[in-house]
Structure 1
Amino acid sequence: MRLLLAEDEKALSRALVAILERSSYSVDAVFDGQTALEYLESEEYDGVILDVMMPRLDGFEVLKALRQAGNLVPVLMLTAKSEVDDKVLGLDLGANDYQTKPFHTRELLARVRAMTRTQIARPDTRLCMGNLTLDQATMELSSPFGSFRLANKEYQVLELLMSNPRRLIPTERFLEKIWGYDSDAELNVVWVYISYLRKKLAALHATVQIKATRNAGYTLEETT
């Protein structure tokens, strides 16, 4: 299950990403409201954790724009504010739930589970190409010859490829989207995960392959 986390406190963001990934969520992290809105306009998510106090656009502005555009993705507002008026405003703008800082990890995870519960049974949670199926709810990759439950970053790499079949995806795009803009990871880490995935595709006798274009990026193509 894929979440967008919009939280401008980078230390808290890193901690939340670690907590959520340990609970088998795939997480994209952004640090301001404008970037959050751009991600939400171009990508599909099962849920959003949206901090109220952010630069460029605050959480209320992001939520208002999101709902006006007809996007009904579940949203959990996250804020240090505890005033009733702020909670009412968030809920009136279309938030599904509200979590005040500081909070217990178990409570946050329970709220995320509750918020996304109706998303689990959606019919569009599977990506298919060739004889492969990637279940976005369980991160399971399968073919008629077997299945693997992918590790988090393996899943994110393959999800990006299967969401953009036959399109060249620059190596930098993987790094920015999966490891984050402020990550210390180097470009060769993408190749490492591509290598892991190629071994799994071979084991599944996949009729698709990950093609590398030197100094450019990667493409997912069907084999002939």
Structure 2
Amino acid sequence: MKLTFGNLELDNDTQILTSPRGALRLAHNDYHVMAALMRRGTRITTMDALISDVWSYPREEPEFAEDAVRDCIKNLRGFIGLSALGRHTIKSERGCGYYLDDKRPEDHEK
């Protein structure tokens, strides 16, 4: 099964994120964060929801889970920024969570 968002595609079997400029096999945590974001698209995903998606059982959750998720977001932003032709990014809504942003070409012409 594959998840798509704009020109990004995430293969659930291989954990490979593909964009117009290439592909990257995501680390375990990065994959789960990206999958959660892609499932929700432009809707906000809370930090708690991201933590639950990465660590299914509370006993597996590391002491600094929020920092670990922020590191995943940083990694993903780097890849997406370089490879998605500037069309997509991961945005944050302070105090609420994260979401994917699709900057369509017509948005740049306004």
Give the secondary structure class of the aligned counterpart of 2:24: strand
Residues matched between the structures, number: 100
Within-5 A mapping of 1:36-185: 125-179=1-55, 180-182=57-59, 183=61, 184-185=63-64
Say if 2:81 is the partner of 1:202: yes
Q: Give, in angstroms, the shift of residue 144 of structure 1.
A: 1.9
Structure 1: give runs of 5+ residues left out of the alignment. 1-124
TM-score, length basis structure 2: 0.82
In structure 2, how many angstroms separate the alpha carbons of the residues matched to 1:169 and 1:185? 19
Q: What per-residue deviation string (whole Å, max 9, x for no partner) do you get for residues 180-207 of structure 1?
A: 4232233222111100000010121352
Residue identity opposite 1:211 in structure 2: K
Moved over 3 A (4+): none
Scaled by the length of structure 1, the TM-score of the pair is: 0.42
Preserved CA contact (<8 Å) 2:81 2:88: no
Distance in structure 2 (CA, Å) of the matches to 1:168 and 1:178: 16
The Cα RMSD (Å) is: 1.4
Deviation, structure 1 residue 164: 0.9
Q: Which has the higher contact order (CA 8 A, sep 6+)?
A: 2
Provide closer, same or farther for how the CA distance between residues 194 and 137 of structure 1 changes in structure 2, counting only shifts above 3 A: same
> 2:93 corresponds to which letter in structure 1?
T
Aligned 8 A contact 2:36 2:53 in 1: no
- Specify the alignment match of 1:216 in structure 2: 96
